Amino acid sequence: MSINFEVNGKPVEVEVEPRLTLADCLRHHLRLTGTHVGCEHGVCGACTVLVDGAAVRSCLMLAVQAEGAKVVTVEGLSRDEGLTPLQASFRKHHALQCGFCTPGMITTAHALLSEEPDCDADRVREVLSGNLCRCTGYISIVEAVLDARSAYKKAAP
């Protein structure tokens, strides 16, 4: 099937089988390999992307369901070569070790902070409970997200 949607601000048209997940469509058809595929059944959160502004698991969505949607991947969060305030906060707080979970953590935290820039540590932990870090560096990740809140209070990036 031929589908049209928007990825990181650009319209795309791809030819896919109905069974192709959005995650595999992004990685294999559009070569956006920043979206990582961990468990492929909606448990690990590594494949989180934004669909029409909401954080969703791209392994639990068919590419054909994205017809007409606006999809943002981790590649689409920064407009140039620089880091976003959230990404810079991850670096500052050593919030990534092997880095496999990082794109999902960043996209999820970006959605959270965009909607709730005043969230507290409990809320950050509750939301990030859907993202597994097998290096178990959760404390640094929560600190990085909390420290990035100020950037979202000024203006949504």
Partner 1 sequence: MKLPAFEYACPTSISEAVALLASHDGEAKPLAGGQSLVPMLAFRVASPSLLVDLRKLAELRQIRITQDGVALGAMVRWRDILDDARLFTAHPLLVAAVEHVAHYQIRNRGTVGGSMAHADPAAEMPGIAVTCEAQITVMGKSGVRTIPAGDFFTGPLMTALTADEIITEVRLPLWPAGRRFGFQEFARRRGDFALAAAAVFYDDHGKACNTHVGVIGVGDKPLRLPGVEAVINGQNIDDAVIAKAEAATSAAVDPADDIHASGAYRKALAGVMVERALKAAAASSAR
Binding mask 96-115 for partner 1 (x = CB under 8 A): ------------x---x---
Question: In this chain, which of 10, 11, 13, 54 binds partner 1, going by CB under 8 A?
Answer: 54
Question: In this chain, which of 45, 85, 103, 137 binds partner 1, going by CB under 8 A?
Answer: 45
Q: Per CB under 8 A, which of residues 24..43 are in contact with partner 1?
A: 24, 40-42
Task: Give yes or no for residue 61 binding partner 1 (CB under 8 A).
Answer: yes
3-state secondary structure the chain: CEEEEEECCEEEEEECCCCCEHHHHHHHHCCCCCCCCCCCCCCCCCCEEEECCEEEEHHHCEHHHHCCCEEECHHHCCCCCCCCHHHHHHHHCCCCCCCCCHHHHHHHHHHHHHHCCCCCHHHHHHHHCCCCCCCCCHHHHHHHHHHCHHHHHHCCC
The CB-of-61 to partner 1 minimum distance in angstroms stands at 6
Which residues lie near partner 1 (CB under 8 A)?
1, 17-21, 24, 40-42, 45, 48, 54-57, 59-62, 64-65, 67, 108, 112, 126-127, 129-130
